[in-house]
Amino acid sequence: MCGRYSNHVKSMLDWSALLGDWPEDIPERHNIAPGQLIAGFTPQGGLAMRWGLVPPWSDDLSGKYATFNARIETVADKPAYRHAWQHDNRCVIPALGYFEWRAMSGGKQPFFIRAENTSPLLFAGLFEPERDAGIPASCTLLTRPARADLAAIHPRMPVTLSLEDARSWLAVDRTAAAELMAKPVTLDLQSYPVSRQVNNARNEGDDLVQPVELS
């Protein structure tokens, strides 16, 4: 799963020509949690989206059922995600990197996972558009089994796309999209322990993504 990430990417790479303009009302943050508004990109451009997909048959924003991640193995069949999948409501969510927690002596230790060359990661997602009754646009991040080098931290990881595959993800049919989200992740990724201050979603700051020494 992926339950926290950093979106400090706007000044890092000129990918905006491909994915559209960053939504003006979405700030750059280092500790984004489910239920918050994030920047997602569709074929029509950048859009503010609630992280946690609200299916068209639901008006529930309470978070009673976690919909911020969707497994690629079941996304086409699960009721919460089936409509978005069948209607090709695909999006891309850019990130500096994401956090995962590993059980260790003394409690769960957060790790930050990012590209070795510090370029942004592009996560594959699904979204539902804004609708009446105060339901904002909303999205979910797709997850897959973790690569061997990351599985010791967590058994799942986000579906991470190259720039070329991100372009395709927004344009191809469902058969090709299914092949893209199952494609092996070949990006050079690094992981390192970070401060447990990230455990509190109210905490912010660049220090949350800096490596720390484990005691």
Q: Which domains does the chain have, with CATH numbers?
A: 4-196 (3.90.1680.10)
Query: What's the pLDDT tens digit per position in 10-44?
Result: 655 556 666 667 888 888 899 999 999 999 999 98
H helix count then E strand count, the chain: 4, 12
DSSP E strand boundaries for the chain: 4-6, 37-42, 45-51, 69-71, 90-95, 97-104, 107-115, 121-128, 138-145, 156-158, 160-161, 189-193
Averaged pLDDT, 68-88: 97
Query: What's the pLDDT tens digit per position in 128-175?
Result: 999 887 899 999 999 999 999 999 999 999 999 998 999 999 999 999
Averaged pLDDT, 53-70: 86
**Mean pLDDT of the residues in the chain:** 91
Residue 57 pLDDT exceeds 60 = yes
Tokens 């508004």 — which residue? 37
Q: What is the pLDDT of residue 214?
A: 87
Averaged pLDDT, 172-185: 94
Query: What's the pLDDT tens digit per position in 85-134?
Result: 999 999 999 999 999 999 888 889 999 999 998 888 999 999 999 988 78
Q: What is the pLDDT of residue 52?
A: 96
Report the distance separating Cα 163 and Cα 157, nearest Å. 18
Q: What is the pLDDT of residue 69?
A: 97
pTM of this structure: 0.93
Q: What is the pLDDT of residue 169?
A: 97
Q: What is the pLDDT of residue 171?
A: 96
Report the distance separating Cα 44 and Cα 59, nearest Å. 25
pLDDT category, 206, cuts 50, 70, 90? very high
